[in-house]
Chains A and B, each alone.
Chain A
């Protein structure tokens, strides 16, 4: 999340008045980009990963760990490190060194949470196998640099969420909760990055909703968990803000852990991968084909079993973030009849995808979301401007939202050489895939971002998942794979991925046959076939079935030896077989593929499972779902040790196997 220009942010009632203007200016900017860049060709694959850290601070004396709010100090130290700048690294928002021909030092970015730090490689990766093998050392280098600019008591940890975020005394320095922006019972306004954009975002989401955000996560019911569970941390007697009524109006649900601020969601760490496509067509293909893989990778990377000091009954972060930034009004949510708002909206701004965008003959109309909400005026304008129906529908769907943060200064003139208004809407639609037009006046191409994965404790795992996704995209393009699935099934899968131990206990909708018919789909086959009618297609529902994650990754075993899904690993291996790969590289890649293979078949545990096990076997755990200070301290310490040792000393071997 980069920092946009400073300015005077409008409070919600004012922002609301100019929402249409921002949208229509955004659409004009999009059309300008479209006009300039629709034919843009980029020869090379470039890609990048984003790693997010939680900065924790140990209090050894009291065996406590807290979140450190020193993001700004750490970034300042990084931005002023001469050596780092010389090597090409730094903080792009402040200053960074020149991108080098060879190795370039990594760069660091602020994030929403003031306890977070984001880091990316100093320049994008290519597809050379050497680049792939540089990813893991580079991730480790980034963590070392980050740590070097922290206090001795601090450490950049890659847990998705801080287990006790929102509990008393969980941040340092300490601030009182119930500030004017967030109005949260649990976290102070200072939890968010102080750049005006972030508190405004949080405040205007709350304001637009008409109440605080509401995050209820089902609690994990252990032997001694009080039942029905009433979140004991909810304070029903606060009277500082009107929003303090929320809990008296039933915001906190029975048997759930209740949270009330954007920080509980946007304070989560993810592993995101962005690809630059050859051209817009390839970008659209990747967007569509990666979309059905999103829920699978979410379940495979599951790492989030604790919220606000309680074990919960879900394994991943996704829906919590979704609710943490859900700005829908009661009318849009369908709780009240539509009077002032334009439509009912089925999903939060942060949710699984709702569109397919590729002009692909394999995209059947049945795959599209029949209930898609689209701003028809915007769509008409885009089509008028030359955009095809499918892509116009996509953007007209994203643009049903209001801009949340609007700076007064930006409304003076429409600058078609910029993308600020377009990005205002685009970058506050947090779907699990993002299709990114080239920023104006850059040599960047069309890009696709893969967003569902949870951050992993070790950089070995983060590299493994990043590289796996890169290889999958290469296999998709090489084999012309088809993973299309009705979009509602993808959304259902996203929900399924949340369930505790979904990886081994649940099944996911997945396409049975990802291949086309032999040789005739490429248009380069013999002329004799030119007159063939298109391959007949059966009912859409016959194209997919429910599979376990293990089947999706490692393949199905056909009882009769007939055709069955070969598994993503086999597909990647077959891709590698078609490439010239040297033995040492293949051996290194095999370590990554082996991790994914064994995660999928249950040999190795997800972080979610491991963390649950750690808590449940901790001597201080009282089988009541409560994750106390001391357990948290030991857990974070253990995570740090695993980050360093990667299971070589035995700790975490259930997740990682016996590493050499």
Chain B
């Protein structure tokens, strides 16, 4: 079965979108806004006293079928209705970032990419995207760029509360190029106006660029302190007309363990997946995260973020 997890629009979602530590790179925005959206859907009708978590935790979990929707072999967690943008398309700058996840065979990426774009377009009620950035598993600018300044501090431990399937080995260049060709098609079809990659350093860019037809317009890098971006990368990007943008997402945004915790029957889970004990109607099997997509729609001339959210897809195998 396919699971589609959604956060809805997280801009009015409260503290889950506010990061507390300025240069922390993390997936807490994704995980906490998923949890918040699940909670919001599960707790209906609300009980006035459950503003702090205690009461909610001790109450029995409502059956997942009451707040999710199954369509054929797809389970929407939670039940989802798109939130189309309110102004005409040309008012917006729509950026989509697609996180390819580890342990997914490269040849399924093509399908995944289409699926992710389709879902986002449906969510926002639009037919095109201004910028599509892709993130490949295991690629991290800090570790990768051998030209980093020597006084560049060693990369901070990524905050992956994980059970082993961490970033793993960086994706090899052939797989990246194959995937890129899929994106070039989206570009040619006019679905996407600009393409971007994430966390590429100089050497990877040098290997990658000659093998592309449509060059990336953007390279998104995580900078704990923007002022330590290595000069060579800045120069090379300028020369290649690639804009260096900042971000603070981690590459492996949805490790399997995290997903299991969120969906599971444990204390912090929402009770979609069955735990050790038999728990009635809950689902059984292994979850494998497939991809995560983040979308942001900004009203261009006003600098207002109208819509931002995540969709994540996982496979549940019996």
Contacts and interface: CB of A to CB of B under 8 A. Distances in A.
A576 B225 CA distance: 14
B306 to A, nearest CB: 8
A244 to B, nearest CB: 55
Contact of B223 (A521, A526, A573, A586): A586
Given A525-B83, A526-B81, A566-B20, A579 B303 contact: yes
Contact of B81 (A527, A535, A555, A563): A527
Given A518-B39, A526-B79, A582-B245, A574 B44 contact: no
A480 B307 CA distance: 11
Interface in B66-107: 78-81, 83, 91, 93, 95
B268 to A, nearest CB: 14
Given A579-B298, A583-B223, A532 B9 contact: no
Contacts of B93: 580
Contacts of A480: 11-12
Nearest to B8: A519
Nearest to A524: B83
Nearest to A476: B304
Interface residues of B, number: 56
A587 B245 CA distance: 11
Q: Is the interface of B mostly helix, strand, loop or mixed?
A: mixed
B171 interface: no
B303 A522 contact: no
Contacts of B221: 583
A570 B18 contact: yes
A519 B40 contact: yes
A69 B285 CA distance: 83
A543 B301 CA distance: 34
Contacts of B79: 526, 528
A571 interface: yes
A536 interface: yes
B37 A519 contact: yes
Residue with the highest number of chain A CB atoms closer than 10 Å, among B45, B46, B248: B46
B207 to A, nearest CB: 22
A138 B54 CA distance: 54
Interface in A534-590: 535-536, 555, 562-563, 566, 569-571, 573-584, 586-587, 590
Given A519-B9, A586-B226, A571 B14 contact: no
B59 interface: no
B95 A587 contact: no
A459 to B, nearest CB: 21
Contacts of B22: 569-570, 573
B302 A477 contact: yes
Contacts of B298: 578-580
A519 B12 contact: yes
B15 A580 contact: no
A335 B304 CA distance: 49
Interface string B12-24: 1111111110100
A570 B245 contact: no
A606 B146 CA distance: 42
Interface string A502-532: 0000000000010111111110111111001
A381 to B, nearest CB: 34
A562 to B, nearest CB: 8
A374 interface: no
Given A526-B81, A532-B45, A577-B19, A45 B40 contact: no
A590 B52 CA distance: 35
A586 B225 CA distance: 9
Interface string B139-153: 000000000000000
Given A555-B20, A580-B93, A582-B244, A278 B302 contact: yes
B223 A516 contact: no
A478 interface: yes
Nearest to B133: A580
A338 interface: no
A241 interface: no
Interface in A203-223: none
B156 interface: no
B81 A574 contact: no
B296 interface: yes
Given A45-B302, A566-B20, A578 B308 contact: yes
Contacts of A580: 93, 95, 131, 218, 245, 298
A582 B14 contact: no
Given A515-B14, A519-B10, A579 B40 contact: no
Contact of B8 (A525, A533, A577, A584): A525
A536 B301 contact: no
A570 B14 contact: no
A44 B301 contact: yes
Contacts of A532: 44-46
B247 A577 contact: yes
Interface string B303-315: 1111010000000
A43 B18 contact: no
A534 to B, nearest CB: 10
Given A127-B301, A517-B40, A519-B9, A577 B83 contact: no
B200 to A, nearest CB: 13
Contacts of B95: 580
Contacts of A579: 296, 298, 303, 305
A307 to B, nearest CB: 39
A582 B246 contact: yes
Interface string A472-514: 0010011110000000000000000000000000000000010
Given A517-B40, A532-B46, A574-B19, A583 B12 contact: no
B40 A520 contact: yes
Contact of B15 (A43, A515, A529, A584): A515
A440 interface: no
B12 A479 contact: yes
A126 interface: yes
A518 B225 CA distance: 31
Contacts of B17: 479, 574, 578
A580 B303 CA distance: 11
B177 interface: no
B176 interface: no
Given A474-B303, A529-B44, A581 B11 contact: no
A536 B51 CA distance: 10
Nearest to A583: B244
Given A524-B9, A582-B243, A43 B39 contact: no
A37 to B, nearest CB: 18
Nearest to A574: B18
A570 B20 contact: yes
B8 A583 contact: no
A586 B246 contact: yes
B283 interface: no
A518 B36 contact: yes
Contact of A522 (B12, B18, B131): B12
B41 interface: yes
Residue with the highest number of chain A CB atoms closer than 10 Å, among B12, B79, B225, B306: B12
A536 B226 contact: no
Contact of B37 (A44, A518, A522): A518
Interface string B213-234: 0000010010101110100001
Given A478-B11, A571-B18, 12 more contacts: A278-B302, A515-B15, A518-B16, A522-B83, A524-B9, A528-B41, A529-B44, A532-B45, A563-B15, A569-B22, A570-B19, A581-B245
23 contacts: A43-B91, A127-B301, A474-B302, A474-B303, A478-B11, A518-B12, A521-B12, A522-B9, A524-B9, A524-B83, A526-B78, A528-B44, A528-B79, A535-B46, A566-B20, A570-B18, A577-B246, A577-B247, A580-B218, A580-B298, A582-B244, A583-B244, A583-B246
Sorted nearest first, the 8 A-B pairs with minimum C-beta distance are A515-B14, A127-B303, A587-B226, A44-B301, A478-B305, A524-B83, A518-B40, A536-B48
Interface of B: 8-20, 22, 36-37, 39-41, 44-46, 48, 52, 78-81, 83, 91, 93, 95, 131, 218, 221, 223, 225-227, 229, 234, 243-248, 296, 298, 301-306, 308
